[in-house]
DNA sequence: CGTTAGCACTCTCTTGACGAGGTTGCTAAA
DNA sequence: TTTAGCAACCTCGTCAAGAGAGTGCTAACG
């Protein structure tokens, strides 16, 4: 266990490094913080902290830099103390965003933009899963005798659509009949439910091939669209950070980000429910491509279908600000 | 006017520079191309080409590098000769993509991915404007007595939606009545038409405040969504290019790209109709942020509403490949 | 007159040396 | 346990020198 002073030293070092992005030495530390001890003492402490794995030197005779483990204790301390739940974060942001966007997509987009601006990080806002959410209504629109669009409105107001092609001619009347039937049977179910029922073969009416085709397409479409409803902004914010000034450092991150599949699963273990904020630091990330960045994320929404809001930045990010901002975004998106 | 040999020299230099990304000198040029003259002669030619503004030296005693004007003549030559229209580009790509995606959004996404991969550039695919396209059908879905979703299906199958809030209670019956009325009056019109008719006050039935509110929202929604339906992929491709190895060079480009407004207007002057490919090189771009990159773009679609497909890369991009790929994408997206 | 060879010149890039600046670890004293 | 002092270490910037690459110029050649 670290003595109280050594904790203070670690904390001071991390704060300085977050601010200046340069290795911090013992003298600088005593000058910038009222530690009440001499540089020599701090040097001893730094040596202990290094042995404990919280900090390291880029090379002999440079200052120290926090390790992932160092950030981890820093963040844990933050989360357990100063950043108490009761603090209402950025009330202006919440109001402003709520007022500006009447539609979920727009709200997500603006929230993402605000998040990127506030944190100087990349931000990601993923819509609640429409696959696990219930269906409110289903509409079929004929494009021709061989094509139609199926539009699904989810319980929470999200809308997804898909074009269906028929091998045989389908009249408008048949389409209307199918629409009525499907609405009677499917409303209130999720795609997950549908798949289960379909496998079980419970419902007699669904034997009709047209209806079956449409259901298949709906299920597939709902599944696919989960990956596509992510807004991400703030690459330019990342580019401004010194750790990404050589773009080689950014490449792995961008590769992950441009691959929907990876992105979709990057937050699988985000705590469920309107829960606490998850912070993953550097090598704590599941994929090696993300070993150089930290992710602050939490889910939002209620019940079956939850979205994710997250920021990604260098491990030297402002964790306090990021956690605050992500909490605020969670508020904004919660009961829209 | 340049002599035939000097044109060959210019072309050889540009091809080499595109390939190796290093300044090219006279000796290298004679070694890599069968120019049939000595380095000294090439030196004279290079001097002439430099005076004419087609190439420049990064510093005395380096090789030469093409200027924007140099690329311009190179591209004009390409467009007028080797890259004849009749050449069917990448037939496998067209087929593969067409088969894989039943929905416009998915097709755009995949086309964008293929384009980025093929060209090693950033690719942008923008959906046809739903603002200028005609409406096929309009659906209202009640969320509560004070909220509803309006879903607009465009003639070409695109679907956009928006949540509307009412100040006074609106029953399902009222909503249904409004839906019927709106479908009778609006189908076949574009948002542009609507605005005109609304201003003129031509149609008596539209005096109803609920109907009027909905129309307003529809028009606004269609206008806004034009900016949001862009798919862009390939940032990682750009990051791999040596000109963007220091990310400072990428920053202005990313800032433009993350600003929907700018992006929307970046292609305003793209030739209309299923027309030729537009190439804008470096400083030919309207905004100074894009002075370091080239854009190869063309529009696709027919009639009222056209989309745009484009790639953005360093001025040292493979113009031939990019033009081919953009044409192929135009084919893919044309009659979907 | 266009083309070519030769040569001096220029500029960058790399290398090595050197000093300045900053930080550490150690030791001995308070 | 804390502190002051000191030697050692490493990086970074500058500087000089040399290699390498390429140019421009001049004079000769067909």
User: What token pair was written down for B83?
Assistant: 């890259």
How high is the pLDDT of residue B204?
63
Residues of B in contact with A234 (CB under 8 A): 258
Residue of chain A with shortest Cα separation from B165: A102
What is the distance between the alpha carbons of residues B54 and B156, in angstroms, rounded to a whole number?
A: 45
Distance A96 CA to C30 C1' (A): 61
The pLDDT of residue B25: 93
> Mean pLDDT per 10-residue run, chain B (336 residues)?
90 95 94 91 94 92 93 90 58 67 79 94 92 91 92 90 90 92 90 81 71 90 82 93 91 90 72 76 93 93 79 96 92 76
Closest nucleotide over all strands to B60 (CA to C1'): C11
Tell me the shortest Cα–Cα distance from A73 to chain B, in angstroms.
31
Check if the beta carbon of residue B96 is closer than 8 Å to that of residue B331.
no
Tell if A37 CB is < 7 Å from nucleic strand D: yes
Residues of A in Cβ contact (< 8 Å) with B223: none
In order of A165, A241, A290, the CA distances from A282 in angstroms are 46, 16, 7
Q: Which positions of chain C lie under 7 Å from any protein Cβ?
A: 3-6, 9-12, 21-27
Tell me the HSE value of A287 on the side-chain side, using a 13 A CA sphere: 18
A·B CB contacts under 8 A? 100
Instruction: Report the pLDDT value the prediction gives residue B193, as an integer from 0 to 100.
Output: 86
Nucleotide nearest to A35 (CA to C1'): D2
Would you state the pLDDT for residue B129?
85
Residue A109, beta-bridge partner list: none
Q: How distant is C1' of C27 from CA of A46, in Å?
A: 18
Q: Is B53 exposed, middle or buried (0-12, 13-18, 19+ CB in 10 A)?
A: exposed
Per residue in A94-123, pLDDT (tens digit) is 667 666 666 778 888 889 999 999 999 999
Yes or no, beta carbons of B162 and A104 under 8 Å apart: no
Query: Does the beta-carbon distance from B103 to A162 stay under 8 Å?
Result: yes
Extended beta strands in chain B, E state:
55-56, 65-66, 122-126, 135-144, 147-154, 159-165, 230-233, 278-281, 293-300, 307-314
Residue-wise pLDDT tens digits, A23-54: 999 999 999 998 889 999 999 999 999 999 99
* Residues of chain A contacting residue B163, judged by C-beta atoms under 8 Å apart: 102-104, 157
Contact B239 A254 (CB under 8 A): yes
What confidence score (pLDDT) does residue A95 get? 67
Residue B184: Cβ within 10 Å count: 9
∠ Cα A161 A235 A250 (to 5°): 115
Report how far apart, in Å, the C-alpha atoms of A310 and of each of A74, A84, A305 are: 19, 19, 17
**Nearest-neighbour CA in chain B from A187: distance (Å):** 13
Closest CA to A328 of A88, A22, A11: A88
Cα–chain center distance at B79 = 18
Chain B CA closest to residue A234: B258
Report the SS3 class of residue A169.
Answer: coil
Number of residues written out for chain B: 336
Strands B135-144 and B147-154 turn out to be: antiparallel
Q: pTM value?
A: 0.89
> What local confidence, expressed as pLDDT, does residue B196 receive?
83
Q: Mutate one of B106, B152, B159, B238 to test the A interface: name it (highest A CB count within 10 A).
A: B159
B184 vs A261, more confident: B184
How far apart are the two ends of chain B, measured CA to CA in Å? 45
Distance in angstroms (rounded) separating the CA atoms of residues A118 and B37: 61
Say if strands A65-66 and A55-56 run parallel, antiparallel, or are unpaired: antiparallel
Nucleotides on strand D lying under 7 Å from protein C-beta:
2-5, 8-11, 20-26
| DSSP symbols for A83-99 | S-TTSPP-HHHHHHHHH
Copy the structure tokens of residue B195: 């605005």
Contact B235/A254, CB-based, under 8 Å?
yes
CA B246 / C1′ C14 distance in Å: 22
Which among B104, B109, B247 is the nearest to A246, CB-wise?
B247
Contact B139 A159 (CB under 8 A): no
Give the separation between CA A231 and CA A334, rounded to whole angstroms: 16
Could you tell me the two tokens for A268? 């699988």
Confidence (pLDDT) at A102: 64
Contact criterion met (CB < 8 Å) for B153 and A141: yes
Sole residue written with tokens 């408008």: A172
Residue A147: list chain B partners with CB under 8 A.
Answer: 157
Residue A336 has pLDDT above 60, yes or no: no
Angle between the N-to-C axes of helices A91-100 and A319-334, in degrees from 0 to 180, rounded to the nearest 10 = 40
Residue of B146 and A275 predicted with greater confidence: B146
Q: Distance (Å, rounded) from C-alpha A141 to C-alpha A214?
A: 12
Query: What span, in angstroms and rounded, lies between the C-alpha atoms of A131 and A104?
Result: 17
A87 pLDDT above the threshold of 60:
no
| % of chain A surpassing 90 pLDDT | 51
Q: CB–CB of A157 and B164 under 8 A?
A: no
- Which residues, including other chains, have CB under 8 Å from residue A83's CB and lie 6 or more apart? A320, A323, A324
Q: CB-based contacts of B264: which residues, under 8 Å, 6+ apart?
A: B226, B227
């Amino acid at each position: 266990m670290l003595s109280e002073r050594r904790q203070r030293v670690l904390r001071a070092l991390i704060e300085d490094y977050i601010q200046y992005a340069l290795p911090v030495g013992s003298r600088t530390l005593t000058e910038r913080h009222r530690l009440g001890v001499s540089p020599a003492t701090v040097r001893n402490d730094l040596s202990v902290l290094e042995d404990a794995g919280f900090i390291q030197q880029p090379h002999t005779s440079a200052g120290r830099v926090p390790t992932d483990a160092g950030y981890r204790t820093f963040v844990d301390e933050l989360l357990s103390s100063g950043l108490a739940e009761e603090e209402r974060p950025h009330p202006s942001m919440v109001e402003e965003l709520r007022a500006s966007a009447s539609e979920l997509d727009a709200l997500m987009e603006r929230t993402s933009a605000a998040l990127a601006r506030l944190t100087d990080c990349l931000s990601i806002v993923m819509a609640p899963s429409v696959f696990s959410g219930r269906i409110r209504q289903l509409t079929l629109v004929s494009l021709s005798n061989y094509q139609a669009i199926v539009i699904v409105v989810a319980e929470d107001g999200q809308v997804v659509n898909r074009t269906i092609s028929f091998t045989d001619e389908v009249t408008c009347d048949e389409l209307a009949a199918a629409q009525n039937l499907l609405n009677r049977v499917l409303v209130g179910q999720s795609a997950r439910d549908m798949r289960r029922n379909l496998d079980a073969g419970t419902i007699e009416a669904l034997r009709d091939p047209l209806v079956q085709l449409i259901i298949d397409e709906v299920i597939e479409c709902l599944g696919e669209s989960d990956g596509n409803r992510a807004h991400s902004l703030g690459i330019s914010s990342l580019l401004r950070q010194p750790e990404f000034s050589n773009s080689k450092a950014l490449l792995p991150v961008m590769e992950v980000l441009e691959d929907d599949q990876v992105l979709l699963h990057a937050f699988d273990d985000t705590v469920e429910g309107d829960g606490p904020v998850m912070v993953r630091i550097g090598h704590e990330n599941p994929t090696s491509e993300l070993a150089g960045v930290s992710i602050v994320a939490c889910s939002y929404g209620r019940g079956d279908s939850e979205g994710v809001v997250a920021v990604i930045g260098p491990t030297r990010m402002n964790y306090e600000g990021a956690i605050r901002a992500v909490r605020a975004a969670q508020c904004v998106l919660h009961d829209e």
